[in-house]
Amino acid sequence: MQLIIEQQEPRLIAAALAEQFDFASADAQCMKACYNALLSPDATYVFFSRYAAINGFAGPLVARLASAIGLSRGTFIDQDEYPDIADKDMLVAQQVFSATIDEFGDAGQRGLTHRTLAQATVEAAAQFAGLSRYRRRELAQLPGTYQPLLESFIRDYQGEVGNARRLVYALGYHLASELRADREYALIDEVFLHSSWGKDFKAWLNEHKRVSLFGEALPSWYWVATHGHYGGNGVEWQHFDAALVAIRGARRYSPLPIAEFDTLVAEGFGDFIRLINDTFILLAGECGAVAASEEAQV
């Protein structure tokens, strides 16, 4: 992860990471899940229900990582300062925490949480599919096959108070999660709203810019578009940039040898990429199976 230090331009760093960690394959897994989601309205619902369910853990986990770093007083220190003012953990934590502020209250949406906004998109997909109450309850169950992925996601993202190796690894994990999310939301926006593939759902969304939920009219697509959108960047790009600043700070004040620090960041980064690829493979399979079972019933 020397490149994060040598290169200051986030776009060039992102391009180098994309090359090194085979983002072409990761994009293909994400696209496959999106296209399978368009095979039927029920599959569209399953896609958004699952993606929202799994991503909904990211915000609280980022907060946990920021907290774990902040609580690790004196793990990241400036050796040139007096011991009583040498700790820099909160400077690193600040850059992680900045990525989750909107999760707990989006300034552009009257302080609604991103989970509430994600639920509005799930509700939109459910209304689009015209699901019966029984069918929705049936499809809403997260299959057990996702459980091992969720468990490692939760375990690896949050770091561990006072454990420099786990924290540095988690910083790499966090960096990958922000960079992949920037790409994923942009791909989702592209496939569902800007391609000829998703014309039914797109037409439905154009007619239903808001859905009625929790006694309010909530935006149907804001949750996707604010994170990343076709032809541009959303907040995930800012989170990625802040994660780079966090890693530079952690590296500067690292208690670990630099070679070990860089290896741990790369390991965390690579492990997140594997996790999200495996998640999209499962999701593509599930969406494909839902669409196929509907076809068989017709």
Instruction: Give the type of residue at 56.
Output: G
> Is residue 82 classed as helix, strand or coil in its secondary structure?
coil
- Beta carbon nearer to Fe ion, 116 or 152: 116
Would you tell me how many other CB atoms lie within 10 Å of the CB of residue 173? 28
Q: Rounded to the nearest whole angstrom, what is the least distance from the CB of residue 78 to Fe ion in the complex? A: 28
User: Which of 64, 88, 114, 229 is the binder for Fe ion (CB under 5 A)?
Assistant: 114
- Write the DSSP symbol of residue 255: S
Q: What does each C-alpha distance from 142 to 53, 61, 145, 206 come to in angstroms?
A: 8, 19, 8, 28
- Beta carbon nearer to Fe ion, 88 or 114: 114
Contact by Cβ (8 Å): 176, 57: no
User: Which of 123, 184, 236, 241 is the binder for Fe ion (CB under 5 A)?
Assistant: 236
d(CA 131, CA 138): 10
Contacts of 79 (CB under 8 A, 6+ apart): 86
Is position 229 an interface residue for Fe ion (rule: CB under 5 A)?
no
Stretches 22-30, 106-114, 167-175, 249-257: which one binds Fe ion (CB under 5 A)? Answer: 106-114
User: Which of 239, 276, 279, 286 is the binder for Fe ion (CB under 5 A)?
Assistant: 239
* Interface map 63-102 toward Fe ion (x if CB under 5 A): ------------------------------------x---
Q: Rounded to the nearest whole angstrom, what is the least distance from the CB of residue 117 to Fe ion in the complex? A: 8
Q: Rounded to the nearest whole angstrom, what is the least distance from the CB of residue 83 to Fe ion in the complex? A: 34
Contact by Cβ (8 Å): 124, 220: yes
Q: Rounded to the nearest whole angstrom, what is the least distance from the CB of residue 138 to Fe ion in the complex? A: 28
Stretches 123-131, 214-222, 233-241, 281-289: which one binds Fe ion (CB under 5 A)? Answer: 233-241
* Interface map 165-184 toward Fe ion (x if CB under 5 A): -------------x------
- Beta carbon nearer to Fe ion, 64 or 239: 239
Displacement of CA 157 from its chain's centroid (Å): 11
- Beta carbon nearer to Fe ion, 42 or 184: 184
* Interface map 132-161 toward Fe ion (x if CB under 5 A): ------------------------------
Number of residues that bind Fe ion (CB under 5 A): 6
Stretches 73-81, 108-116, 163-171, 191-199: which one binds Fe ion (CB under 5 A)? Answer: 108-116
Contact by Cβ (8 Å): 254, 165: no
Q: Rounded to the nearest whole angstrom, what is the least distance from the CB of residue 287 to Fe ion in the complex? A: 22
Stretches 86-94, 103-111, 166-174, 186-194: which one binds Fe ion (CB under 5 A)? Answer: 103-111
Q: 71-94: string of b/e by CB count within 10 Å (b at 16+)?
A: ebeebbbeeeeeeeeebbbebbbb
Contacts of 267 (CB under 8 A, 6+ apart): 169, 172
Q: What does each C-alpha distance from 286 to 106, 126, 291 come to in angstroms?
A: 31, 16, 9
Q: What does each C-alpha distance from 228 to 67, 185, 223, 232 come to in angstroms?
A: 26, 5, 9, 7
What are the residues binding Fe ion (CB under 5 A)? 99, 103, 114, 178, 236, 239
